[in-house]
Amino acid sequence: MNQLPDIIRDFDRVSPEVVKQAAGFQAAILADVAGRRGTLHARVAPVHERMALAGPAFTVEVRPGDNLMIHAAIAMAKPGDIIIVDGKGDQTAALMGTLMLSACKKLGLGGVVIDGAIRDKLEILDLGFPVFSAGFNPAGPTKFVPGRINHPVSVGGVAVQPGDLIVGDADGVVVVERAKAPAMMALAQKKVADEAARLEAIARGDTASTWLPAALRAAGVLKEGESL
């Protein structure tokens, strides 16, 4: 039986045009139009709230506390790629720090998302490169346990395929399936317009939610004919 290699070098990425469009939307907007799914667990957060990223997923699976395969991923990833690491949520050792992240920036990568710990927080803040992690730990990693590159992974409770669209901002990270991403752009644009119109209405004093009474009746909170 043929077996996939641990390192997959070639895969289809979400297009640069879609990435450019997606970078203009909040992660929350994309999560809503994608069916309110694909958002990583809140433990995976930006090092600084102003950090943002958008790009194709370059997936990495490691054993807890070992970063051998992340080094390999940095050597392989293309400019604009988002290295997204299934670190099993482990926070007992940092998987990345200033040296590795400086290399990522120099190579023109789009950012790093890691379901695990990192270190060198203050230096990363100065680096100006978008990094999302599950936490921080000063302990260093080992570098000898095999893992996999560009296989399907689970990061922050979300399935991620190589080439999927990754978007992150102050609220967290959302993953949109590569094949689904192009269709989401028009939906996202419409949602932005709808929310802008709603904000204008609120500013005029229209704070009532027209859908609320029906929803309360459907939930059994209000009886027919009752109102708040």
Q: Please list the residues that pair with 57 across neighbouring strands.
A: 82
Task: Check residue 139 and report its DSSP letter.
Answer: P
- Of 63-67, 132-136, 170-174, 211-215, the one with minimum mean pLDDT is 211-215
Q: How many domains does the chain have?
A: 1
Angle at 99 between CA 159 and CA 126, to 5 degrees: 90
What mean pLDDT comes out for the span 115-120?
98
| CA–CA distances in Å: residue 137 to residues 93, 103, 123 | 6, 20, 14
What mean pLDDT comes out for the span 75-84?
98
Q: 175, 158 in Cβ contact below 8 A? A: yes
> Is residue 8 a part of any domain in this protein?
no
pLDDT beyond 70 at 199: yes
How many Cα atoms sit within 13 Å of 140 on the Cβ side? Answer: 7
pLDDT tens-digit map of 2-24: 688 999 999 999 999 999 999 99
Cα torsion through 111, 16, 150, 142, rounded to 10? -10
pLDDT beyond 80 at 71: yes
How many Cα atoms sit within 13 Å of 112 on the Cβ side? Answer: 33
Q: What domain range includes position 177?
A: 16-185
Q: 58, 77 in Cβ contact below 8 A? A: yes
- Report percent pLDDT > 90 for the chain: 96
> Is residue 3 a part of any domain in this protein?
no
> Is residue 106 a part of any domain in this protein?
yes
pLDDT recorded at residue 130: 98
92 is in an annotated binding site: no
> Is residue 178 a part of any domain in this protein?
yes
pLDDT beyond 70 at 91: yes
pLDDT recorded at residue 225: 86
- Please list, in sequence order, all residues whose beta carbon lies within 8 angstroms of the beta carbon of residue 57, skipping any fewer than 6 positions away: 81, 82, 84, 160, 161, 162, 163, 164, 165, 166, 175
120 is in an annotated binding site: yes
pLDDT recorded at residue 227: 86
φ, ψ of residue 18 in degrees (nearest 5) = -70, -40
C-beta neighbour count of 12 within 10 angstroms: 11
| CA–CA distances in Å: residue 218 to residues 36, 90, 159, 207, 209 | 21, 42, 33, 21, 15
What mean pLDDT comes out for the span 157-179?
98
> CA Rg, the chain, in Å?
20
We report the CATH number of the domain holding residue 109 as 3.50.30.40
pLDDT beyond 90 at 135: yes
pLDDT recorded at residue 2: 63
pLDDT recorded at residue 63: 97
**pTM of the entire predicted model:** 0.94
pLDDT beyond 60 at 1: no
Structure tokens at 137: 């730990």
119 is in an annotated binding site: yes
- Of 111-115, 117-121, 212-216, the one with minimum mean pLDDT is 212-216
Q: 14, 49 in Cβ contact below 8 A? A: no
pLDDT beyond 80 at 53: yes
pLDDT beyond 80 at 164: yes
> Is residue 227 a part of any domain in this protein?
no
